[in-house]
Amino acid sequence: MQDVTRTNWWKRMILRTIAVTLIGLAIIGPLAGTLIWSFAEKWYWPSAFPQQVGLKYWKASLSGQSQVMESLWVSLLIAVIVVVLAMLISVPAGYALARYDIPWKRILLVIFLMPQAFPQLPVFINMTSMFYRYNLVGTVTGVVAVHLVVSLVYSVWITTAAFKSIPVSLEEAAVNLGANRLKVFFRITLPLAAPGLIASSIFVFITSLDEFTGTFFVGAPFIQTLPILMYTASMGYNMQYASVIAVLLTIPALFFMLVLERFLKAEYISGLGV
C-alpha cells in the first residue's frame, strides 16, 4: 500500500513539474529570446546560440542622439500627459459615480468601456477620419486623445471602485464634526483612495506606453513612439534594435506591475461591478 501511495506521489510530482516547466517556458521563453537577441551581434542560422554577443546595439540605442532615445522621451511625455488628463477626468467622475445616485450610472460606465468592447482597428480608423477634419492627425495632441480614449476605461472604473470602497460613514462623521464637503474630500476621502488612484494611474501609464494601433493610425509617421519604432525595426528584420526596444518597454511594465500588486486591493476589484 505504501509503495502504491509513493508511486502516485511521484507521478503527481512529475506531472506538476512538467506543467510548471511548460507554463514557465510559455511565459519566460519569448522574453528570454528577446533578451538574447538584444545582446546578439552575430546570430546566423542554424546556430542555436549567437556567434557573437556584446553591447553594440544597446550602446547605439541608448546614445543621446539615437532614434530610440528620442522615441522613448516622446513615449514618456505622451504617457505622462495622458495620466494627468485621465486622472483629472476620472477622479471627479469616479467620485460622482461612487457617491451619487446618477441616472443611467451603469450605462455611463459601459460607455467608458466601449472602446475596449469592439475591435480596435475599425475604432481607430473612424477616429482617424474624424481627426483629419480638425488637423489632429500627425500631432501629439491627436495621439494623446487616442491614448486617453483607450485609457479612460481603466482610470474611471478603478477610480470609481476605489471611492466606493471607502465607507460613507467616515465622510458623514467628519461633516457632523463641522467639516465642509470640500475639506472632507481632500482630507479624508482622497488620501484613503490614494492607493486606488495610484493603481489607476499605473494602468493608464502602461496602456499609453504600449499603445501601438491608435498611434500608428493617428500619429505615424510624424509621431514616433517606442512601439512604432519597434514595429519599423522588426519590419526591416533588424531584430537587435527591435529586441532592445522590446526590453525597454518591458522594464517599466514589470516594475509597475510589482508596484500595482501592492496598491491594487481586493476591495477595489470587488467594486468594479458598480
For the segment 161-219, what is each residue's pLDDT rounded down to a tens digit? 888 888 888 888 888 888 788 888 888 888 888 888 888 898 899 999 999 988 999 98
pLDDT beyond 70 at 75: yes
Per-residue pLDDT, 270: 47
Average pLDDT of the chain to the nearest whole number: 82
Domain range holding 35? 2-54
Higher pLDDT, 225 or 17: 225
CATH, residue 76: 1.10.3720.10
- What whole-number distance in Å separates Cα of residue 207 and Cα of residue 260? 14
User: Cell 502602461, residue?
Assistant: 206
Q: Name the residue type at position 195.
A: P
For the cut 60, the answer to whether the pLDDT of residue 74 exceeds it is yes
Residue 261 vs residue 248, higher pLDDT: 248
pLDDT at 60: 86
Q: Model confidence over 110-156: pLDDT tens digits?
A: 666 666 666 777 878 888 888 888 888 989 999 999 999 888 888 88
**pLDDT of amino acid 140:** 92
Tally of structural domains, the chain: 2
Q: Say yes or no: 61 and 45 in one domain.
A: no
- Residues 94 and 112 grouped into a single domain: yes
Say whether both 140 and 47 belong to one domain.
no
Residue 229 main-chain phi, psi, to 5 deg: -65, -40
DSSP H or E segment with residue 53: strand 52-53
Answer yes or no: are the C-beta atoms of 82 and 147 closer than 8 Å.
yes
Q: In the predicted model, is pLDDT for residue 1 greater than 50?
A: yes
Residues 35 and 62 in one domain: no
Measuring CA to CA, how many Å separate 115 from each of 30, 103, 124, 146?
Answer: 29, 22, 9, 10
pLDDT at position 99, please? 83
Q: Is the domain of 50 the same as that of 68?
A: no
Q: What share of the chain is helix, strand, coil (3-state, %, to 5)?
A: 80, 0, 20
State yes or no: pLDDT of 94 exceeds 70: yes
Query: Are both 62 and 133 inside the same structural domain?
Result: yes
Coil vs helix vs strand at 84: helix
pLDDT attached to residue 3: 56
pLDDT of residue 194: 87
Instruction: Say yes or no: 28 and 87 in one domain.
Output: no
Nearest to 196 by CA among 254, 151, 156, 150: 156
What Cα–Cα distance (Å) separates residue 246 from each residue in 60, 68, 210, 239, 261? 15, 11, 10, 10, 23
Q: Is pLDDT larger for residue 231 or for residue 14?
A: 231
* Greatest mean pLDDT range, 21-25, 44-48, 72-76, 267-271: 72-76
Does residue 26 sit in the same domain as residue 71? no
pTM of the model: 0.80
Closest CA to 229 of 121, 69, 120: 69
| Domain match, 87 and 37 both | no
